[in-house]
Structure 1
Amino acid sequence: MTDSSQMPSGVADAAAPTGPSATRPFPARAWPDVAIISVLSLLGVLGYETSFGDGNFLIAGVGGLVVGTAFGVLGYVLRLGVVTNVLAALLGYFLFGSALTMPAQSLFGVVPSLETLAGLALGAVWGWADIVTLQTPVEAPYYIPVVPYFATWLVALVGTMLASRWLTIRRTPLRASVLLIGPALLFLSGILLGTDETYFAGVRGVAFAAIALIWLGWRRQAAPAASDEGATRLRRRKLAGTGMLVTGAVLVGALAGTALAPTQPDRFVLREEITPPFDPLAFPSPLAGFRAYTKDLADTPLFTATGLEPGDVIRLASMDSYDGRLWNVAGPDDMVSSDGGFELVGETLPLPELMRAGAERSAEIEIAGYDDVWLPGVGYPTRLTFDDATSVDSAGDLRYNPASGTAVLTSGVDEAYRYSIDATLQKGIDDDDLVDTPAAMIDLAPVENTPDVVVAKAQEFAGDAETPIEQLRAIETALKTQGFLSHGLASDAVPSRAGHGADRMIELFTRSQMIGDEEQYASAMALMARYLGYPARVVMGFAPQIGEDAESVEVVGDDVTAWVEVAFEDVGWVAFHPTPDETDIPQDQTPKPKSEPQPQVRQPPRSDNEDEDLLTAVEIDDSDDEKKNQPFVIPLWAWITAGVVGIPLLLFFGTMLVIAAIKARRRSRRRNRGSGDRRVAGAWDELTDEFAELGFDVPRVGSRRQTATVIERQLREQGLGDARGAHTDTGPVRVIRADAPASGIRVMPLADATDRAVFSGEEVEQSVVDESWNAASEAVGLARAASGRLRRLFSRFRIRSKRDWAQVDISGAKPAKPAKPAKPAKPAKPAKPAKPAKPAEPGGGEAAAPAAG
């Protein structure tokens, strides 16, 4: 006989008798495997530190490990099938994920809300794409901590299920290596989704390799012929030898790598290879709507700014691309190395590389009539926080370009949005300090179709100036002193056409007088500076009049302005304001064209109907009809309640209905397909499957009588034998035949009847099929009625499959060694008979036989 301690742990666990709760202990040999998976996963998730920069990701990652491992263990203990275990783990993922990843959006910080449930789903699907386009440290969108939570939850769940259900059956180095795939992928994701900076990469990599190799060497099975003491000594030597080998390899590799391997200047990360998906060209150029502020919104309050000081300006957008029609924010196709593009950001915003920090501001902006996508800001923001609930919902749509200091809210800015900004201003530099300072050598988006007249004027205005600051100031002075300001209003003495395309630039310099506003003058100077080879851009914003003691200022459309910024080496972006202040345009310089007499043409008769002048339009008040036709709006609390209560119920009952449909289809196919003997055998298969789903250990190997013996024995051991006349959870069931023994539930008669029908060789009547199915239904119904409610509930979530059948000792005794095969006979001598198998130990039952049918 083979000692039960040498049996695979999965078989030994299945052979143990179960109690009324139908649970089983978690395999002891699997606990170290689960611990190793958790430690390696923790080393992998630490790589996310370079992306997140705080401890929130670690809380989410450790929480995912705990939830995934707990549900993997719980599924094994409760004997849940693989599919049912995964569904239960999904329920735990949504139940505990809110508190671990999004406590601010959860109800009372713990209870899931509709927003957190949606975030857990979105983060698992889209968070991987978002994180590589986010500006580090990653703080938005709100569901981004779901990425480490979902990763560790998935690795822990799959690893725990494999360690308990698969590795315990047959332990080989190859099978053990499969468990390392999840932690290895998690470690790799921490590198690819991180930044070019490392977080203890060497320490984590060496620790990961050492732990994995030592575990693989320790978990190899000992030789079958070795005794317990010998196996222990062999395992100890193997562990020590593997540890010494790994330690030596690590030391040699670290020393040799430091001495011989070249230093890698760059580190491959996905965020450096992927272009941010946001395209600013999808929105109109901010400068194209300049005249709308001065004409239509001149007196309209746009927003209120608090915390500004006299002389401060509010930035809206920086434009460095020109195509002959518009100045615009550079799109993804025009981005260069000096422009990182627009990225998803959280509250913390990075400062541009090219700037000299000056004063700091803490401002608060409350939107009124402003409704564009470009977000008003002050200087270069370092932190931006949405303060009200309405704007917080749109925080995930915020993109920011640190090189230009431009923020955009892709969903648009609505009325009553309120946000706070902590910003750093560019330090002011005197021209005397810039005389010897060259222009910065940076690449900007291209400027195309510059008119020839602009080039000629750039050379004329620059004159004999030599240094960059002298040439730029000369151009600025010429535009301010030789031009006139006009917004093209009806009150202006001379009309001024809007726009800043090539045709408008030609008109600006070919008329007898330069006439325009900030839109034209800023565009002209930026084109001149770019022609001279200087990195220039046009900035649009607002310049309100701020009093000395004013706490806040109301910004209106008439406060709009535009200026030019040029980058200087080690200084930053210096502002130039080329728009003139003079508005009195000389009338004699813009004579009206003389009118030429035209030949007289007879006009057609008037066709207007005078009766129409007598009609008066009557306004009809249809506000009541609009209210009647307004659709019913479901309140927010109803959506939240439906999400918190409905989603768990949908997962629970939806899973139950799907499994019930699968079982009904299985039962229908067995009862209605095939010949009579096959349908009788189907009744027996249905009985064994339903007993297994109730938590009974139904053997995979053995005849039907042996299987019936095992089932009846478990009924007696669990105290479920006397169930005659009981009521099931779906109604009363019929009492077993009067000649049934006192044990109540008998499956042996059905086993005998099934064998007779299968092996008789005669055609089986329909009445025999119906009797077999009725007997199977009676036995299962009585067993279900005698079981507890919790046990019946778990059975509804189990689907028995041949892959999940437990291998148990159907005789109740230790398994016998298989008989040795007969030795082959020599050619000249008759073959010797095979040696009989050794008899079973005392107390044993029948020997196992192949499954019949």
Structure 2
Amino acid sequence: MRSSQTPLQIAINVTAMLILFALITMTFQPVFGGWRFFVAGFGGAVLGIVIGLLTSRGSLQGWLYTAAGVVLAYVLFGVQLAVPSTALWHVLPSFEGLRELMLGAVFSWKGLLTAEPPAEGFPSLLVVPFLTMLLCASVATTLALRLRRHGSFALIPVLIALVVGITFGTKIASFPVAVGVALAGVAVAWLAWRSKIHRDALAKETELEVTAGRRLRKDLERKRFLGAIAMLALASIGAAGVGQLVNPAGRNVLRDVVEPPIELADYPSPLAGYRGWLKNYSDETLMTVSGMPADARLGLATMDYHNGEVYTVGGADDESAAGSFARVGDVIGVQQSGEEATVSVSIDGYSGIWLPSTGFAQSIEFEGDRQQALQTSLAYNGATGSAIVLNGLQTGDSYEVHAIVPEYPDVDDLKQATISDVAVPKPAAIPDEIQAWASEHGTNGSTTMENITAMQIQLQKGAFSHGLENETTSLAGHSSFRMDSMFKVDSLVGDDEQYAVAFAFALQYIGVPARVVMGMYPDEGFESGSVELTGDDMHAWVEIPIEGFGWVPFDATPPEDQTQIEPDPVPKPEPKPQVLQPPQPIEEPVELTPEVQPEGGTMDDEEEGFDWLPIVMTVLIVLLSILLLLSPFIIIGLMKLSRRKKRRNAEDPSARLAGGWHEIVDQAVDLGLEVPRGVTRTKVAAHVSERYPQSRASDIGQYVDTGVFGPQSPPEDEVETFWSDVDRSVEAMRHEASFWDRLKSRLSVRSFMRNRSARRRTR
């Protein structure tokens, strides 16, 4: 039914929509962080409300105008609100911004699910709250202003916006109790106000006179007021209870079923190219760094799984989280304690997907011509502090990292340290020689830390060699075969690559979690100012989880001047430990060069390879669940609609009059009124009118008697007018009934049972 609302009523409806959508916008806070999400989301809501207001009245009234207004607002204001970094002078749309806006309408939904919160730094992900609020607010406002009888339908788009905010968010909600209580309170108060306005309009339209005295009217108004207060309280308590019960562990969001589309197994192990950096770039500047703490390390990659051939990052499905990278924006915000550092990096000879960083990044901001390409392909692992850029770093790139560098324990702390119980993938095979060596040197201490220190000291007694010209022979690589052969000679020989892997193998054998890290640092530590790093500054080390400190670096490599320039050592006799199991076959050979990898992981590939099935299945399950819950209302409603249609379309005008009367009686029965059987229509009408004074049942019953038993059939136009009176009578009864009676009447089949009994008696 079309609405003709006063300016005050319009203002109240618009205010309710503003408050509801402002509250719903807050559901996006956990996934975006900061405040820009609110500007985008609430800005879209305001635009949608204005569109709904303009297209609900006057010459622009119509859904076609509403749709056109949404498209126009999206194009004119989307760049400034959803992708503000691309706007010209922060005011005018740009071609780049419009491109991001159009692509964001399709791909930002997937991008938000695979992005690591906070997602505010992504160029186009703010399209999600902006577009959601723009669409839902325009439809909700239009329905609220156009409909009089069924204004509650305006809450459907409000509910849709709420579902989007929750399902596209994180397990951690932002003030769930406060937002839930406020939403429920505003919605119920608005519905109660709409109901009162409709009752007043209905009474005025039908020009009814309520026969109850002043005392009865006051009593009725008091009951309605108390009922509204009770509904508000019940809704608030329910919202608070749900907010408390649905804790983060119990919340299900879409990002739980969508795997990040970054698979590092497609890239060669960075440690496999370790010797190449030393051989080809020993004197060449790879990068220039400033702002590093003196004793910090510039990490490249953290690897936790040895597959028999190389150390690599475990996949996202493995025990460890080292391979779980998620797309991030310029703001990362990993929670960590330690020393703050702002590190600037300028790339010279270095290339590859692994981004040099230190500690745990709070933000990473790129500069230069490739700023956009690098920022959009940035991914981060909050568990290891490693970062990658799928488009690859190259000469001329630069960026700034704001990081928290953890404090490492000193020697005294390590003596009393406890190893954390952290899950790390087991190696495919630990060489027998290393097992025997670890049994000899790593099991005699009184504490685990003593065993760790004993093995570390023993490894540091070995010889250092890169295997380059004029150095002791030392083959590159760290496969199980290479590591087994290293321990078959009298003296250990190798560099960071072999000693770090050997230490990690030995630690894993005695039950200590360990992972290998590859990175850069000068042997004398970082100086203040700018420091040029070359291939000689490339290192590898082991990290062990220590209670209270996190993952702590341990070096097992001998000093570089501890060389052994002698003929190749004589092999020892073959020991007889348990038989070495063959390593798992590797499908593809490992590349040993540090050259930049193919850019096979671009954003376009992610978009093409995205699996929509989990989202589609989730949406279908939700919709089917809602449909199942509503099915009783739908089925019974369709039955009553069919009965009403049959009565109104009867061929005989007298039958249509009688059918209209039965509609009134059936409504009274479904509302809970005990209607007497076997009495005249006049008595039934009096009984209905006594309970529902505004129904005009007595007048309608008298008119039906005249039409049915009169000498002539009533004219068609009078019958149509009569059915309009029937509709108003039914509506008046519903508005005089309580909320629970109206709800129960939707599910009531008492009228069907009563009519069935009446038909049996007439047989």
Give the Å deviation of 1:374: 0.5
Contact 1:194–1:269, Cα closer than 8 Å, also in 2? no
Query: 1:350-749 maps to which residues of 2 (within 5 A)?
Result: 350-351=333-334, 357-462=337-442, 464-481=444-461, 483-489=462-468, 491-544=469-522, 550-581=528-559, 582=561, 584-590=563-569
Q: Could you tell me which amino acid in structure 2 is paired with residue 186 of structure 1?
A: A
Select 1:74's aligned residue among 29, 54, 68. Answer: 54
The aligned residue for residue 328 of structure 2 is 345
Matched, 1:141 2:119: no
Question: What SS does structure 2 have at the residue aligned with 1:500?
Answer: coil
The amino acid that maps onto 1:204 is V
TM-score (norm 2): 0.69
Identical-pair percentage: 32
Look up the match of 1:662.
none
Q: 1:589 to 1:832 in 2, by over 3 A?
A: closer
Distance 1:514 1:98, change over 3 A: same
Match of 2:308 in 1: 324
Contact 1:348-1:382 within 8 A present in 2 as well: yes
Rate the CA distance shift 1:223–1:512 in 2: closer, same or farther, 3 A.
same
Change (3 A) 1:834 1:97: closer
Cα distance in 1, alignment partners of residues 299 and 498 from structure 2: 18
Q: Deviations over 1:713-744 (max 9, x none)?
A: xxxxxxxxxxxxxxxxxxxxxxxxxxxxxxxx
Alpha carbons of structure 1 residues 835 and 195: separation in structure 2 relative to 1, 3 Å: closer
Runs of 4+ in 1 over 6 A off after TM superposition: 25-28, 228-239, 254-258, 835-838
Contact 1:9 1:27 in 2 (8 A): no
Aligned counterpart for 2:175 among listed residues 174, 184, 200? 200
Correspondence for 1:268: 251
AA paired with 2:485? E
Contact kept? 2:188, 2:232, Cα under 8 Å: no
Kindly indicate whether the alpha-carbon contact (under 8 Å) linking 1:44 and 1:184 is maintained by their aligned counterparts in 2.
no
Which of 186, 194, 199 is equivalent to 1:222? Answer: 199
Are 1:525 and 1:564, in contact at CA under 8 Å, matched by a contact in 2? Answer: yes
2:180 and 2:486 map into 1 onto residues whose CA distance is 64
Check conservation: 2:290, 2:344, Cα contact below 8 A. Answer: yes
Q: Which residue of 1 aligns with 2:153?
A: 178
Measure, in 2, the Cα distance between the counterparts of 1:445 and 1:498: 24
Q: Could you tell me how far apart the structure 1 residues matched to 2:164 and 2:223 are?
A: 32
Segment of structure 1 superposing worse, 95-104 or 187-196? 187-196
Contact 1:314–1:376 under 8 Å retained in 2: yes
| Residue deviations 1:441-491 (CA, integer Å, cap 9, x gap) | 11123322111111111112225222222211211111121x2222222x1
Shift in Å at residue 136 of structure 1?
2.7
Structure 1 residues 214, 574: closer, same or farther in 2, change over 3 A? closer
The structure with the largest helix share of the pair is 2
Instruction: State the Cα distance separating 1:252 from its structure 2 match.
Output: 6.2
Select the residue among 240, 243, 246 that pairs with 2:228. Answer: 243
The whole-number CA distance in structure 2 between the counterparts of 1:62 and 1:289 is 50
Q: Does 1:831 align with 2:712?
A: yes
SS in 1 for 2:45: helix
Give the secondary-structure state (helix, strand or coil) at the position aligned to 1:427: coil
1:334 aligns with 2:323: no
What CA deviation, in whole Å up to 9, does each residue of 1:538-582 have, x standing for no partner?
Answer: 010112256886521111122111011111112222221111234
Give deviations 1:726-780, integer Å, cap 9, x for gaps. Answer: xxxxxxxxxxxxxxxxxxxxxxxxxxxxxxxxxxxxxxxxxxxxxxxxxxxxxxx
- Inter-partner Cα distance in structure 1 for 2:413 and 2:240: 50
Q: Which residue of 1 aligns with 2:102?
A: 121
Aligned to 1:285: 269
Is the CA contact (8 Å cut-off) linking 2:328 and 2:379 kept in structure 1?
Answer: yes
Superimposed CA distance per residue, residues 792-830 of structure 1 (whole angstroms, 9 cap, x where no aligned partner)? xxxxxxxxxxxxxxxxxxxxxxxxxxxx9995575xx95
Q: What is the alpha-carbon distance in structure 2 between the residues aligned to residue 335 and residue 114 of structure 1?
A: 45
SS, match of residue 497 in structure 1 = coil
CA distance in 2, matches of 1:427, 1:217: 59
Structure-1 separation of matches of 2:499 and 2:288: 28
Q: Name the CA distance, whole Å, in 2 between partners of 1:51 and 1:130.
A: 12
Letter of the 1:195 partner, please give it.
T
SS in structure 2 of the partner of residue 361 of structure 1: strand
DSSP-derived class of the 2:139 partner: helix
Query: Measured at CA, do residues 433 and 27 of structure 1 come closer, stay the same or move farther in structure 2, by a change above 3 Å?
Result: closer
| Cα deviation digits, residues 11-40 of structure 1 (max 9, x gap) | x8xxxxxxxxxxxx9998655444433322
Q: Which range is displaced more, 195-204 or 296-305?
A: 195-204
Specify whether residues 283 and 193 from structure 1 end up closer, same or farther in structure 2 by C-alpha distance, changes over 3 A only: same
How much has 1:231 moved relative to structure 2? 9.3
- 1:238 Cα deviation (Å)? 8.4
Residues 431, 469 of structure 1: 8 Å contact kept: no
CA–CA distance in 1 between the matches of 2:717 and 2:503? 106
Aligned to 2:284: 300
Going from structure 1 to structure 2, the CA distance change for 1:538 and 1:531 (only over 3 Å counts) comes to same
What's the secondary structure of 2:540's corresponding residue?
Answer: strand
Distance, in Å, in 2 between the alignment partners of 1:585 and 1:464 is 29
Hey, what's the Cα distance between the residues in 1 that align with 2:102 and 2:15? Answer: 28
CA distance in 1: counterparts of 2:265 and 2:258, whole angstroms? 18
Q: Following the alignment from structure 1 to structure 2, what is the Cα–Cα distance between the partners of residues 587 and 488?
A: 13
Taking the aligned partners of 1:252 and 1:311, their CA distance within structure 2 comes to 55
SS at match of 1:333: coil
Residue 275 of structure 1 deviates from its aligned partner by: 3.3
Alpha carbons 1:536, 1:564 under 8 Å: kept: yes
Moved more, 196-205 or 292-301: 196-205
CA RMSD of aligned residues (A): 3.4
CA contact (8 A) 2:366 2:398 kept: yes
Secondary structure of 1:132's counterpart equals helix
Instruction: Kindly state the Cα deviation for residue 589 of structure 1 after the two structures are TM-superposed.
Output: 4.4
Q: Which residue of 1 aligns with 2:188?
A: 213
Query: For residue 592 of structure 2, what is the aligned residue in structure 1?
Result: none
Count of equivalent residues: 575
Distance in 2, matches of 1:542 and 1:219, equals: 68
Distance 2:117 2:569 in 1: 56
